[in-house]
Every structure is written in structure tokens, then in C-alpha cells.
Amino acid sequence: MSIEAHAEIDALKAPARKRGDWFNKILAGFAAVLTLGMMLHISLNAVSRSFFDAPVHGTLEYTQFWYLPIVAFVGIVTAQRSKEHIEARLLFDHLPPRSQPFVQAGTDLLMLALAALIAFYSAEMAMDSQEIGRTAGVSGIVIWPATFVVPIAMTLFVICSAIDIYGDLRRACRKPDTRSTSPEEA
């Protein structure tokens, strides 16, 4: 078994990250409550439409402009904090172990730059939406406050990415461990 395989097994056996777990739990709890609220809202709309021929006003708009963006962007931040994004490591695993943290930091830096651009431009759009008092078309449901979800979430994503880059670079700059990592000597 390779050194990298042992390191991955050890990482899986290690206890979960303690620092910031409370933040992940708050975000996940908020997303769960919001998802439950959305489910109840949609179910109430379906029952009301079917049995009373009177749908709940604005269900589509609330789902489209309030519930789903919040759940999606909270999920993006939570996945970044927990390092649970899907990775395709086809080339990465074939790189020398000493260069992997640098490559990881580089890809994280690219993602950070993209997220920062999204945060910046979506903040401009959110402020414009606030200025004009954006509503959901003819229904009149106010949606401009929900447009601030994207810049807030992407700013949190940028912060989490910056922390990850710092950690990757710290690991990359450490002196390599010259001791053997074979299971017989452990």
C-alpha cells in the first residue's frame, strides 16, 4: 500500500474537524428547517389547490426566489467548510506528493477568484434590486432581499477557500517527514 493511501486512510480515521463545526451545524440546521418549510408550503399549496380550488398565493415565487436560492447557497458554503465537494482526481493523484498541496492551493485560488467575482457582481445586482424594489412580476411578492443571499454566501465561500489555501500552503511548506510510514514500524 502506498504512502498516499496510508495518509488517506489515517485522514478518514481521524476525528472530524472541531474548529468551526458549530458554524456548519447552524448552516445545516437552517437549511434543513428552510427545506422543511418549503416542503410544507408546497404541500399546503397542493392540498389547497386540489380540495379547495384555491392555491396558496405566491407559492411558486416563494419557492423560486426565496427557498431554493437560500438552500442551494447555504449548501455550497457548508460543502466547502466540510470539504465535501465532489472531486475528479484523475491527474492530481498522479502528481508527486510534494507538489500536490501546491496544485491544490492553485486550484483553490482559481475557485476563490471566481467566487470573489461572483460575490462582487451579485452584490452590485442585489443593491440594484434593492434600489428598484424588485418584485416577482405581477404577483407583487418582494424578492429583492433574497438577492443578497448570493453575495453573502459567496463571500463566506471566499473566506472558507482562503482558509483552505492557507492550510494547503502550510502543509506544502512543511519539511517532509523522513521517517518510514510503513505499517510494520507504526
Contacts by 153-160, CB closer than 8 A, 24 or more apart: 153/73, 153/74, 153/76, 153/77, 154/73, 154/115, 154/116, 154/118, 154/119, 154/122, 155/119, 156/77, 157/76, 157/77, 157/80, 157/115, 157/119, 158/112, 158/115, 158/116, 158/119, 160/77, 160/80, 160/81
Q: What is the per-residue pLDDT for 11?
A: 57
182 assigned to some structural domain: no
- Model confidence pLDDT, tens digit, residues 107-120: 889 999 999 999 99
1 in a structural domain? no
In a domain, 184, yes or no: no
In a domain, 37, yes or no: yes
Q: Does residue 178 belong to any structural domain of this protein?
A: no
Residues 127, 106: Cα–Cα separation, whole Å: 32
pLDDT one-digit tens code per residue, 11-68: 555 554 555 678 888 888 999 999 999 999 999 999 999 999 999 999 999 999 999 9
pTM here is: 0.74
Q: Examine residue 70 and state whether it is found in any structural domain, yes or no.
A: yes
**Number of domains composing the chain:** 1
Residue 75 domain boundaries: 16-85+95-173
